[in-house]
A and B are shown apart, each in its own frame.
Chain A
Amino acid sequence: MYIDLMLNIGMILLKIAVVIGVALLHVAYATYWERKVIGHMQVRLGPIEVGPHGLLQPIADGVKLFFKEDIIPANADKPLFYIAPVIFFVSTMTALSVLPFFEGFVIADINIGLLFLFAMSSLGAYGIIISGWSSNSKYAFLGGLRSASQVISYEIAMGMSLVGVMIMAGSLNLSDIVKAQQQYPTGMFAVPQFLGFFIFTVSALAETNRLPFDLPEAESELVAGYFTEYSGFRFALFFLGEYTGMLVMSSISAICFLGGWTVPQFITGWFPFLLQLPAWFWVLVFLAKVYAFMFFYYWVRATLPRYRYDQLMSIGWKMLIPLALLNIVVTAMVKILL
């Protein structure tokens, strides 16, 4: 009895260690990859001097951030200033715990997985607002306010875009959503839920404060936005949290719209040997989908300029939310009729 329990706990801890380790490594190299992609899109080389093709650049950056002086503004609200990056980082890392990476590999296989993800991404907004408030700086405060209103506005559209997925899958459990997509001939919800997929993609950009909706950290207006006053490792926590947030959003997109770790059934029909492969092999399929979505993030960043603040709000409230409502109505009607 006790041995069983201990084994269970040990197993879960091992899984957590693996997920956090792999996720942090991915985050480190996501920055490298982003700089490379954007560099080449701007006819530059990107990081290239540190190690072969600049591959050690993220490690050099990490070491540099770790040894940097930690400056705290004299008039900052100290306890809140300390806790804000931790809230942000922890909430994004916690979101990783409900993501199924391949068949049977998920730290917490809970029935409200999707709701949990929403909750965590909203909680992350608290870290941003608190950091903006506690820094006692105009730039940081404006960045925090902008981020708060932006995250709240786009959370609605994002949540509603996923309601269509919930209706089609009949579950909030992420593993069940992936399995439900296997029942469809196309193998992914992105085809029947194209409207939801579009809304999700746009609001995911806004939710992670990425271009073209990066108003909370608009460099040209707000220096660095809500983390202007942060330096050293506290800054690194925000940075890591942001890129983990990107990873989580890409994973949600892969799981809910692109079929997670599975491939459409007609492909396994053509190549039956794929079914013989071990379960861990499918994590590669999952990662390929996540990377495709992350590449899209970088691609959009290299292409589009920043929206104006009123444009951002009108896109969110006047376009995405009505479209999401329409999507819910149509999906529900089709579900009832069929």
Chain B
Amino acid sequence: MTAAKLIRAIFFIEILKGLALTFKTMFTPAVTRRYPKVKRPVQPGFRGLHALAKDENGKMKCVGCGLCGAYCPSKCIYIYTSDGKDHKKVVDRYEIEVLRCIYCGFCVEACPFGAITLSEHYEYSDYSREPFYMTKDKLLSNWDKHFAGEKGKRYFRDFWRPKSEDFIGYEGQAMFKGIKNEK
């Protein structure tokens, strides 16, 4: 054992170093975020509670095609439609079992009309299961609550509008109606 090692062993240099470090750390500000009082800002594109989008006239955008329900990996979207006036399709019930949802966002991608969206809202814990069964009315009121104002509009535009709106085909390509051929 060399002299330096002996001195280090006798005076516990390593332990003293550790003590100095913890003492210094004691005076640095804590990193704790006091959650209910101080909320963490949600990241862009956060997938939270579902909402059914409304158009400018306040009418539901959903047409009841059922693509979201067909696409859903956990099969938690239930859609019931019926024959309405002039053989128009009427969406009677649009229901999501939120407790089974895995928040993959496939329903949003599947929707050709940007009717189903995921909001930034994530604080919806409750004491029973019923509040987590989202009916059409609840989903529509979610839209009013969480996509209200300029902020909600921007959030919807940036993340949840139909991807087909961005699609530009080459000249002469066969297209569905309503998709712009050129920008």
Contact = CB atoms under 8 A, between A and B. Distances in A.
Contact of B30 (A39, A300, A302): A39
Interface string A268-306: 000000000000000000000000000000011011100
Contacts of B32: 43-45
B57 interface: no
A242 to B, nearest CB: 22
A107 to B, nearest CB: 36
A302 B18 CA distance: 10
A82 B17 CA distance: 44
A311 interface: no
A40 interface: yes
A42 B15 contact: no
Given A43-B25, A299-B23, A304 B30 contact: no
A9 interface: no
A43 B22 CA distance: 10
Interface in B47-89: none
Contacts of B25: 40-43
B26 A41 contact: yes
Contacts of B19: 299-300, 303
B34 interface: yes
A44 B23 contact: no
B148 interface: no
A304 B15 contact: yes
B30 A303 contact: no
A59 interface: no
Nearest to B33: A45
A303 B15 contact: yes
Interface residues of A, number: 15
B2 to A, nearest CB: 20
A83 interface: no
Contacts of A44: 30-32
Nearest to A40: B26
Contact of A41 (B15, B22, B29, B31): B22
Contacts of A42: 25
A43 B31 contact: yes
Interface string A26-40: 000000000001011
A48 interface: yes
Which of B15, B22, B32: most chain A Cβ within 10 A? B22
Interface in A13-29: none
B28 interface: yes
Contacts of A40: 25-27, 30
Contacts of B21: 303
A14 B32 CA distance: 45
A304 B17 CA distance: 11
A48 B25 CA distance: 19
Interface string B94-119: 00000000000000000000000000
Which of A37, A40, A303: most chain B Cβ within 10 A? A303
Contacts of A303: 15, 18-19, 21-22
Contact of A43 (B15, B23, B28, B34): B28
Contacts of B23: 41, 299
Given A299-B19, A303-B15, A37 B26 contact: yes
A49 B29 CA distance: 17
Which of B15, B25, B26: most chain A Cβ within 10 A? B26
A39 B32 CA distance: 10
Contacts of B30: 39-40, 43-45
Given A37-B26, A40-B30, A303-B21, 17 more contacts: A39-B30, A40-B25, A40-B26, A41-B22, A41-B25, A42-B25, A43-B25, A43-B28, A43-B29, A43-B31, A45-B32, A45-B34, A49-B34, A299-B19, A299-B22, A300-B19, A303-B22
Interface of A: 37, 39-45, 48-49, 299-300, 302-304
Interface of B: 15, 18-19, 21-23, 25-32, 34
The 3 A-B residue pairs with the shortest CB-CB distance in the complex, in nearest-first order:
A45-B32, A41-B22, A303-B22
15 contacts: A37-B26, A40-B30, A41-B25, A43-B29, A43-B30, A44-B31, A44-B32, A45-B30, A45-B32, A299-B23, A302-B22, A303-B15, A303-B21, A303-B22, A304-B15
